[in-house]
Structure 1
Amino acid sequence: MTDRLGPLRHRDFRLLVAGTATSSLGNAMAPVALAFAVIDLGGSAQELGLVVAAFALAEVVTVLFGGVLGDRVSRKVLMEGSAGACALVQAVLAAVLLTGAASLALLTAMGVVTGCLAALSGPSSQAMTRLTVPAAELASAVSVRRIGQTGSQIVGFSVGGVLVAAAGPGWAIAVDAATYAVAAGCYAALRVPHVRGVSAGASVLGDLGVGLREVLSRTWLWLLIGQALLYHLVYGGAQGVLGPIVVGDGFGRAAWGWALASLMAGFVVGGLLTLRWRPRHGLRVGVAMLSLTAAFPLAMAVSDQLALVLLGAFVHGLGLEVFSVAWDLSIQQNVPEDRLARVYSFDQVGSFVSRPVGLALTGPVAEAVGYDRWLLVVGGVMAASSLLALLSRDVRRLERHAPPPLGVDAPA
């Protein structure tokens, strides 16, 4: 295993992993805290969906601009500034919750601000991995970075559920603010080159057009971004709206935190699996594993046993992580460096543009047809859409690049 963790010997990669893992710790607490803050204010499932949808919509609106910035200015500076600003906003939100001055409108407004700030650096953060390790260690670096983030989220979800139940949502948001501040310090210490991906005087729309053409030139890329539209349309609300209500009401508030922790445990096991298992057609295997994500909503729909819900969450995380590593590595290995942030911005927009719609509609639709029945529909759509994507020859045939020998290349 030591050779598999080789990327951690690179200083900049250690700082990147430390920053992303630390902020992931706090960010795992934030959705648990936000959901129960809305419920404590008397919010319904529909109102909870609207609050979470506002945050998601802000991310979608901002992330394309963040992709252009990531190929124009220093990605390091962008990440540092975004984390610092998020720390300040979350600290204010924590103070509002702890003093009892919160309202649904205020939670929504501050969620929009945080979503915009976080989205600005999202594409740059994804594109940063390739700048911190040699190409020969990129596959290991992708897996190790994701293991660090998801391991932190396990702790965050578990502690977040207990902390919200014991002390209230405000303290969980305060921890999130502190982790953003630590992340900003890690990013400030990075020493990586700035790769300029746009020509001087180019317009934002022109830069986006270049990124869009890069996406459309690869069938596997635009097809799976499209599949993600449908996936997140149904699943975002299942986790963000129905999960806290169904699991929280059935097993207690702390149980929802444990369910999310089990989800993250599946991510970690999936990440460890990808350190050793590297199939030639990794994207094909990853898409097949993605169909396992249906296990979580199906378990919430049919089971009155917490153990089965936790198992469904674990299987969901396992399948999604194997896919995510294959997907991330496919992008890193096939997209030119000077367009990487813009491609990641389209990936994030394509993956999450439908999530606000799903979050807003989940409450009224689920209340009309029944929570359990809608969760069954969600599981069916998630499994079917993943398997249908395998009909594409481009998805099935894309091969993992063989890395060059260690020591013959440097970070890009």
Structure 2
Amino acid sequence: MGVVNGFLGLLRHRDYRLLVTGVTVSSLGGSIAPVALAFAVLDLGGSASDLGLVVAAYALAEVVTVLFGGVLGDRLPRQVMMQGSSAAAFLTQGVVAVALIAGWGSISLLMVVGIVNGSLGALAGPSSSAMTRQTVPEGDLPAAVAGRRLCQNAASVIGFSVAGLLVASFGSGWAIAVDAATYAVAAVCFGLIRVVATSRAAESRPSLVGDLRAGAAEVFRHTWLWLLIGQALLYHLFFGGAQSVLGPIVVGDDLGRAAWGWALAALMAGFIAGGLVSLRWRPRHGLFVGTAMLSLTAAFPFAMALGGTGGGHLGLLLLGAFVHGFGLEIFSVNWDLSIQQNVAEEKLARVYSFDLVGSFVARPLGLAFTGPVADAVGFDRWLVVVGAVMGGSALLSLLFPSVRHLERRSGPSHEVSPV
């Protein structure tokens, strides 16, 4: 009860309350959209390859745009970036919804809008991540980071849960209309935020390339930062394909298709449990603890590998998925907080953009090579390799002093760590 009361106390800060409401509603719609989009493509006569192209167009737009989103997030008021992105996404998703409901939608339209929405999300993503620090006092930042992530994860669980029902009951067009409405609500919330602008004066701004170079220099100034961005690249490179390509096949063949849905639900439950624990647990060396907990993500691919050998057990699969989500969320909260507390305010959005690039770039590559490699070596063996890489790379990161020694701040400070 104390954890809940502590988070509710954070909501006394008006700007934080508006920020959390906006990102939570956006997460709800963002969880509905992929399910609705998949069925929309299929309803239009598209194949799995067509769906792959639509999703790839969205992912490619994110990769190309996200670094510029970081630059703009440090140049312009961040709430303006977030409001503009949400308002534009409301319009684009509204067009898709109307097209599908009216019967004149096409796969080409979905692809074009996917590119636009991917770009919009990437432009606003770094600003959104950097905004938390501007909405609460320094002493409340740890709980604010954990509370925001908890609300987003809870909204995602609800969104994934109701998405199929919305599509089945009302059709893909109406489900996407719900997504569009969430963007409208988010745009209103972001527009009401009133924080001190952190943008630099126009005469002091270098070129876009100069800004990117300065952002990269800030990343490489902190050993723990570039090291764990690299570790995240490995995580997404290996686990992206294991989850999206191998998991449904291995688990579906051994335990049935419903078991894969239960596994993903257990994964999200782990996220929520990790978020609740993070509201109360504040280790002094949070990055060290979080990185150690990140090694627990190996549990999920290892549990899936047992299914590939014919020894799958539903309880073990669900436990592996839960432990994965729990460990990843503990890491994510402490990672986010470490960035917030140790990166200069005027470079924060750019640093987040480099962090996002590490994920966006690697995941499509992992999706591409997982199938051929797994076919060559065997699904179960490749899942073991995936688990070993994920767990081993996290444990190896603990050998670096900058990861072990970085301390969580408990009070206001304007110093940033160079380690």
Name the TM-score, length of structure 1 as normaliser.
Answer: 0.89
Residue 178 of structure 1 pairs with residue 186 of structure 2:
no
Q: CA separation in 2, counterparts of 1:117 and 1:275?
A: 31
The equivalent residue for 2:151 is 148
Alignment match of 1:43 (pick from 40, 47, 63): 47
CA displacement at 1:322 relative to structure 2: 0.3
The equivalent residue for 1:336 is 344
Residue 389 of structure 1 pairs with residue 397 of structure 2:
yes
Alignment match of 1:58 (pick from 49, 56, 61): 61
The equivalent residue for 1:282 is 286
The equivalent residue for 2:19 is 16
Describe the superposition over 1:357-398 as per-residue Cα deviations: whole angstroms up to 9, x where unpaired.
222333444455554444333222211221121121111111
Aligned AA (1:20): V
Residue 219 of structure 1 pairs with residue 223 of structure 2:
yes
Aligned AA (1:332): Q
How has the CA–CA distance of structure 1 residues 22 and 52 changed in structure 2, closer, same or farther, with 3 Å as cutoff? same
Unaligned segments of structure 2, at least 5 residues: 414-419
Unaligned segments of structure 1, at least 5 residues: 406-412
Aligned AA (2:333): V
Q: CA separation in 2, counterparts of 1:373 and 1:311?
A: 20
Which deviates more from structure 2 when the two are superposed, residues 53-62 or residues 206-215?
A: 53-62
Q: CA separation in 2, counterparts of 1:361 and 1:164?
A: 31
The equivalent residue for 1:189 is 192
**Matched position secondary structure for 2:47:** coil
| 1:249-260 equivalent positions in 2, closer than 5 A | 256-260=260-264
The equivalent residue for 2:417 is none
Q: CA separation in 2, counterparts of 1:102 and 1:366?
A: 36
**Matched position secondary structure for 2:11:** helix
CA displacement at 1:294 relative to structure 2: 2.2
How has the CA–CA distance of structure 1 residues 179 and 333 changed in structure 2, closer, same or farther, with 3 Å as cutoff? same
Residue 205 of structure 1 pairs with residue 217 of structure 2:
no
| 1:297-312 equivalent positions in 2, closer than 5 A | 297-303=301-307, 304-312=312-320
Alignment match of 2:243 (pick from 239, 244, 265): 239
Q: Relative CO higher for 1 or 2, CA cutoff 8 Å, sep ≥ 6?
A: 1
The equivalent residue for 1:410 is none
Describe the superposition over 1:51-70 as per-residue Cα deviations: whole angstroms up to 9, x where unpaired.
43332221121111011111
Residue 134 of structure 1 pairs with residue 137 of structure 2:
yes
Assess if the C-alpha contact under 8 Å between 1:238 and 1:362 holds in 2: yes
Q: CA separation in 2, counterparts of 1:247 and 1:106?
A: 34
The equivalent residue for 2:416 is none
Aligned AA (2:324): H
Assess if the C-alpha contact under 8 Å between 2:46 and 2:107 holds in 1: no
Q: CA separation in 1, counterparts of 2:328 and 2:215?
A: 26
CA displacement at 1:239 relative to structure 2: 3.0
CA displacement at 1:338 relative to structure 2: 1.0
How has the CA–CA distance of structure 1 residues 266 and 364 changed in structure 2, closer, same or farther, with 3 Å as cutoff? same
CA displacement at 1:240 relative to structure 2: 3.6
Describe the superposition over 1:270-312 as per-residue Cα deviations: whole angstroms up to 9, x where unpaired.
0111111111111111011111122233333433555443333
How has the CA–CA distance of structure 1 residues 33 and 231 changed in structure 2, closer, same or farther, with 3 Å as cutoff? same
Alignment match of 2:360 (pick from 333, 339, 352): 352
Assess if the C-alpha contact under 8 Å between 2:36 and 2:172 holds in 1: yes
The equivalent residue for 1:379 is 387
Alignment match of 1:267 (pick from 271, 276, 294): 271
| 1:107-118 equivalent positions in 2, closer than 5 A | 107-118=110-121
| 1:92-103 equivalent positions in 2, closer than 5 A | 92-98=95-101
Assess if the C-alpha contact under 8 Å between 1:271 and 1:322 holds in 2: yes
Q: CA separation in 1, counterparts of 2:259 and 2:167?
A: 12
Q: CA separation in 1, counterparts of 2:248 and 2:84?
A: 32
**Matched position secondary structure for 2:390:** helix
Aligned AA (1:157): F
Report the number of matched residues. 404
Which deviates more from structure 2 when the two are superposed, residues 83-92 or residues 181-190?
A: 83-92
Q: CA separation in 2, counterparts of 1:351 and 1:198?
A: 31
Aligned AA (1:210): A
Residue 295 of structure 1 pairs with residue 295 of structure 2:
no
Alignment match of 1:67 (pick from 70, 92, 100): 70
Aligned AA (1:344): Y
CA displacement at 1:156 relative to structure 2: 0.9
The equivalent residue for 2:406 is 398
Residue 86 of structure 1 pairs with residue 113 of structure 2:
no
CA displacement at 1:165 relative to structure 2: 5.2
Instruction: Report the identity percentage.
Output: 66
Describe the superposition over 1:141-176 as per-residue Cα deviations: whole angstroms up to 9, x where unpaired.
111111111111111111124444555544433322
How has the CA–CA distance of structure 1 residues 398 and 198 changed in structure 2, closer, same or farther, with 3 Å as cutoff? farther
**Matched position secondary structure for 1:9:** coil
